[in-house]
Amino acid sequence: MSELISRAAELDAADELAGLRAQFVLDDVVYLDGNSLGALPRSVPARVEDVVRRQWGSLRIRSWDESGWWTAPERIGDRIAPLVGAAAGQIVVGDSTSVNVFKAVVAAVRMAKGDGEGGGGAGSGAGRDEILVDATTFPTDGYIAASAARMTGCELRPVAPQDVPSALGPRTAAVLLNHVDYRTGRLHDLPSLTDAVHRAGAYAVWDLCHSAGALPVGLDEHGVDLAVGCTYKYLNGGPGSPAYLYVRRDLQPRFDSPLPGWNSHADPFGMSPDYAPAAGAPRGRVGTPDILSMLALEAALEVWDGVPIERVRAKSLALTDFFLECVAAYVPAGRVESLTPSAHAERGSQVALRCEKAGDVMNRLIASGVVGDFRHPDVLRFGFTPLYVGFGDVERAARVLALTLG
């Protein structure tokens, strides 16, 4: 035990990201639930107070122009872009992840069906009446995909991510996949799966909720068509902070949103009864932006200034490696089983442990100052946010887990 405590201290002393911890509101609790809700950046409360008291309270309606409210969805999208490997002008912030999944999947099907009719897709759209969805997906993604299938006259087929290449065919219009499995922390192979989808003439839609802000994504590099993600996990945007939608630049003229709103109109203040979509990423907007939470998110994203995502990934892997090592050293054999892949290429930024009476165990961990979460029926989840989690936290969490399990 003393050896691991000493190693944790050495690793923390050598950690180039350790100084970022001071930018968050933290206490003596080991917080390993940033994969559900990120910690509060210290810059946010004062920014929100300014938005409420000065921008809303004093400037009022003038803030749409003078405070930049109107352009916030694209401006903040450009701040997120480097964290997911995208050039500016391809991400718009707003709505929830669920709403953006719906926009993306329906738009992908519409583009696929339009290919062969003058579109720029990879193959003929004739007969493309199938949507593949990650069989292990977060439930809402599955619900949305099913609704999108009904709306577009498609058949929905749940498929395990590793089986997608063999499941693709001439009927496939769109494929909805999670970059990281929310239960196990397994990282799926975005480059090869995207390539397989494209070779089949279909469109790839990726859910980045459990990867953005924890590891490199490479949306532009790997030719991803459409992607969505939340901002309240590793991006620390706050509870219910708005999600984002990525539309690859060359697809933007063909992106046909199923939710056209006045904010995505080419002339939003013209109040025309006929819809004409805006150019570029703004055509992914719908209604009036949720300014309070959006500007809180903008303040939260300032902690990323000058932070390379590759360095974050390196620390994430080091943290999860060390946690698994400490668990193996402290927890009696047979009490827990790791569901998270040991291979770095297959691991996100969380560790999932199967354990009997996991719900009760997590409640006791939380009471002892180690906060993770529980997923039915028997999974303990621990999320590692490299911006504020240290190696001492990791060692302490494993030690408390061992004591809790007795």
Instruction: Domains for the chain: give ranges and CATH numbers.
Output: 2-31+307-405 (3.90.1150.10), 49-304 (3.40.640.10)
Q: Taking the mean position of all CA atoms in its chain, how far away is CA 336?
A: 27
Q: In this structure, which amino acid lies at residue 116?
A: G
Token pair for 39: 């910690």
Instruction: For 47-113, give the DSSP string.
Output: HHHHIIIIIIIIIGGGHHHHT--TTHHHHHHHHHGGGGT--TTSEEE-S-HHHHHHHHHHHHHHHHH
Q: Point out which residues pair with 340 in neighbouring strands.
A: none
What pLDDT does 123 receive? 52
pLDDT for res 406: 85
- Are 381 and 352 a contacting pair, CB within 8 Å? yes
Task: Say what the pLDDT of residue 213 is.
Answer: 98
Q: What is the model's pLDDT at position 43? A: 97
The per-residue pLDDT for 120 is: 37
Contact 203, 226 (CB under 8 A): yes
Q: What is the dihedral of CA 266, 272, 274, 278, to 10 degrees?
A: 10
What is residue 125's predicted lDDT score, i.e. its pLDDT?
Answer: 77
Q: Are 338 and 353 in contact (CB under 8 A)?
A: yes
* Helix boundaries (H) for 250-369: 291-300, 309-330, 358-367
Sign of CA dihedral 21, 27, 32, 33: negative
CA-CA distance, 166 to 65, in Å (whole number)? 51
Active site residues: 138, 207, 232-233, 381
**Which of 2, 15, 4, 37 shows the shortest CA–CA distance to 394?**
4
Which residue ranges in the chain fall short of pLDDT 70? Answer: 116-124
